[in-house]
Structures are given as C-alpha cells and as structure tokens.
C-alpha cells in the first residue's frame, strides 16, 4: 500500500498564464480517505489527473509510496481510477470488464478468476457477471467500475466524481458503499474528487477545499483554501470563501464596522445601528475596520428568550417561508443583508412581512476582516491547513 505526497504541485496550460493549480502541498497517509472538493474551475479534477498520470505536472514533485512518479506512465504508479462516466467496455460482460486490468497485467487465469469472484461478491454483483453493461442499471454499472479498480489491489484509489450520474437515493446508497469498501481495503489510500459538499463531509477523513483563480487574475493564488477534518472546516472556516462554500443554506453574511475593542473581545455595529459584542481577539482588527459578520442558519434564534448565550437582537422582516418536512426555513430581510433562519421546532409560523427579531449564538458567530480572513476567537489561533 502507498502514501501520496504532493510538494508544491502546479499546472499551467498556457506558458506565462495564471496556473490552474498552484502550489498544492499535501501528505496523504496510507489508509486515509482524502476528498478534493470545490466549485467548477478550481482544478480538483486536474489535480487528480496529475496524480493518475493522465495530465503532466508543470511544477513540483509527486511521490507515491515514497517514489517520485512525475515522469512515470499511469500503469507504473500503482494507482487505479474510477471515472465519472464508468468507462466500461460495452462488448465485454461484467466479469471481463472486472478482469480487464488483470489480463493486461498477465495475471494467471485461476488467480484472476478468484479475485474477480471475490470482488463481485463484495460488491454484491456476483449474479451479474455474465451480463453486458447495457443490461445494467446506473448503480450496477458504477459498482462494476469500482470493482475494476478493486481487483487490481492498488496502493492508491482515485475517484473522479463517481456518483454524479446517479439519482439522489442511489447516490446516498453508493456513497455508503464506497465508505465501507475503503475501510475494508485496510492500508490503501483513497483520493476522491467531488463538487458535492455532502459527499465530501460524509466520506472524508480529511477534506481539501480548492478555490479557482480570481476572475481576471494576472497573479497566481494558492489553490488550497483550507484543508482538515470536515467538521473543522465547517465550524472554523479560515476565510469568506470557505464559509460561503460549505453549508446549506449557505452562511448568512452581514456587513459591519468595528466600533471598539477590549479584553473581552470586539464590538461591531451593523447597518441598522445594532451593536454586537463578540468574543474575538481585539488585536486582529482595528477600530473603524469594515468587517463581515457570518452566522449559520442553525445558529440563529428568535430573540427575547433570555438565553445568556445569545447576542443582542437583530431586527428583521419575514420575506418567505420554506417548509421542508423535517425543518422550516424563514428567509428574512436583516440589517444590511438577507438572513436565513432555521425555525425552532414547535415555534409559531410567522407571516410574510411580519417583524421577527432574531439573535445569534455568540460563540458560533464568525467575523471576517477586510481581506476576508477569519478573525480568531479569544484564546484561538488562526485557522491553518
């Protein structure tokens, strides 16, 4: 089995142009499930293809199992890849598709047959071995594609958005199967690319959130916005990009101004004049700074409960209500911007246009400085990759 090290990996398609991928440095351990996630254009699939050997590396060094592989062909890297499009051979049956890589590697037929049967049973497709791809459902085809990687017993599994062609129910089921299969493979490491944050949050031991180059940029920007445990990124985003990308509904953002600072934190004024006291490091901002307040929908509450954990009240007006079965969301016009509130269970449903004062859990409020970087809380260091 193998670990993967990326040392300042970069990819530039046009000489002298802005890199699509810039200075990515990661150390992915044996047995780790690492997910690359980000919006379109952030370079996540390009990065995966460079690891696979399907795209050349412009700069930096890639090591798999401690061995430099920049110049090695894909077949020499001890990796197996599962593609979004399944990439099955239509004229071969399931057993032949599963064993195609073994045949190319000249594995003896008895050993190959045994391995195919083991993997087919593991994936619960052993009853489909004689069928052609056209006779399979989308979920069954995806299992065959995954099985074709499993039979080779590589050191590294690479997944390029393998669930994007499946419907929601099948996506959830297959996601759980991939997690189970990874655990069953012991020391093999898996690198998984997706634009779906639910897949990233549920599958990853470590999540790497990638950001695209700024529109019209002439200078490169580091591709990795933040990496770490999924919940660490969700609860402690290092900048506005991370905070806005993760979460559904997305984080609420309100413009504010630093009014004063002291040993207990920072006081900020909102557009309607409301002042909030926040437990942020006073040395990280200056009086008069333009800042951005960040509050997740689940961290807003109806004001007036007397809960000491809450901030001062914010004025808002109900614009729309969304009933989703297990929860209801209230879309509000807040001080200086829109707010989304996850309604408390059992709360009376407000009317459209009704005034609805709200407050936030003080320890869950985020503050971002003029550059968009997170302001650390008291006794907290700045978030790092």
Is the pLDDT at 2 greater than 80, yes or no?
yes
Give me the pLDDT at residue 163, please: 86
Give me the pLDDT at residue 200, please: 95
Give me the pLDDT at residue 384, please: 55
Q: What is the DSSP letter of 65?
A: T
Q: Provide CATH code, domain 4-243.
A: 3.40.50.300
Give me the pLDDT at residue 311, please: 93
What digits encode the pLDDT tens for the residues 214-261?
887 778 889 999 999 999 999 999 999 999 999 999 999 999 999 999
What digits encode the pLDDT tens for the residues 11-22?
999 888 889 999
What are the structure tokens assigned to 263, written together? 């040993």
Q: Which of 170-179, 199-208, 224-233, 242-251 has the lowest average pLDDT?
A: 170-179
Domain spans of the chain, in order of start: 4-243, 250-375
Is the pLDDT at 272 greater than 80, yes or no?
yes
Is the pLDDT at 185 greater than 80, yes or no?
no
> How confident is the model over 164-190, as a mean pLDDT?
84
Q: If pLDDT is split at 50, 70 and 90, which confidence band does 3 have?
A: very high
Give me the pLDDT at residue 250, please: 95
Q: Provide CATH code, domain 250-375.
A: 2.40.50.100
Q: How many CB atoms lie within 10 A of CB 221?
A: 14
Give me the pLDDT at residue 385, please: 59
Query: How far apart are alpha carbons 47 and 77 in whole angstroms?
Result: 15
Give me the pLDDT at residue 34, please: 98
Q: If pLDDT is split at 50, 70 and 90, which confidence band does 382 have?
A: low
pTM: 0.91
> How confident is the model over 334-349, as a mean pLDDT?
89
What digits encode the pLDDT tens for the residues 72-97?
999 899 999 998 877 899 999 999 99
Q: Which of 40-44, 217-221, 286-290 has the lowest average pLDDT?
A: 217-221
Q: How does DSSP assign 98-152, residue by residue? A: HTHHHHHTT--HHHHHHHHHHHHHHTT-GGGTT--GGGS-HHHHHHHHHHHHHTT
Tell me what the pLDDT averaged over the chain comes to. 92
Give me the pLDDT at residue 238, please: 96
The segment with the largest mean pLDDT, out of 53-57, 159-163, 185-189, 345-349, is: 53-57
Question: Which residues touch 173 (CB under 8 Å, ≥6 apart)?
Answer: 139
Give me the pLDDT at residue 371, please: 95
Give me the pLDDT at residue 383, please: 58
């Amino acid at each position: 089995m193998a670990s993967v090290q990326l040392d300042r990996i970069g990819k530039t398609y046009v000489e002298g142009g802005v890199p699509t991928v810039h200075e990515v440095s990661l150390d992915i351990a044996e047995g780790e499930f690492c997910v690359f996630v980000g919006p379109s254009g952030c370079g996540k699939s390009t990065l995966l293809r460079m690891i696979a050997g399907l795209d050349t590396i412009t700069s930096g060094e890639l090591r798999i199992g401690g061995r430099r592989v920049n110049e090695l062909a894909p077949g020499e890297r001890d990796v197996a890849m599962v593609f979004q499009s399944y990439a099955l051979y239509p004229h071969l049956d399931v057993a032949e598709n599963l064993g195609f890589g073994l045949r190319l590697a000249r594995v003896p037929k008895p050993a190959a047959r045994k391995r195919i049967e083991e993997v087919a049973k593991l994936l619960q497709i052993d009853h489909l071995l004689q069928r052609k791809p056209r006779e399979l459902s989308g979920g069954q085809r995806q299992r065959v594609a995954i099985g074709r990687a499993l039979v080779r017993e590589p050191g590294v599994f690479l997944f390029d958005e393998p669930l994007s062609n499946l419907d929601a129910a099948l996506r959830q089921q297959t996601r759980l199967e991939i997690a189970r299969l990874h655990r069953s493979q012991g020391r093999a490491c898996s690198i998984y690319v997706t634009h779906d944050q639910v897949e990233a949050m549920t599958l990853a031991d470590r999540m790497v959130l990638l950001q695209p180059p700024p529109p019209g940029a002439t200078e490169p920007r580091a591709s990795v916005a933040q990496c770490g445990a999924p919940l660490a990124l969700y609860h402690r985003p290092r900048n506005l990009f991370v905070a806005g990308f993760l979460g559904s509904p997305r984080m609420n953002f309100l413009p504010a101004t630093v009014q004063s600072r002291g040993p207990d934190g920072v006081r900020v004024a909102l557009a309607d004049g409301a002042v909030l006291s926040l437990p942020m490091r006073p040395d990280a901002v200056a009086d008069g700074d333009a800042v951005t307040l960040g509050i997740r929908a689940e961290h807003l509450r109806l004001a007036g409960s007397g809960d000491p954990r809450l901030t001062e009240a914010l004025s808002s007006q109900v614009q729309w209500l969304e009933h989703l079965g297990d929860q209801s969301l209230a879309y509000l016009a807040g001080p200086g911007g829109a707010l989304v509130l996850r309604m408390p269970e059992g709360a009376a449903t407000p009317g459209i246009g009704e005034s609805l004062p709200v407050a936030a859990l003080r320890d869950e409020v985020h503050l971002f400085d003029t550059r968009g970087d997170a302001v650390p809380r008291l006794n907290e260091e700045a978030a790092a990759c």
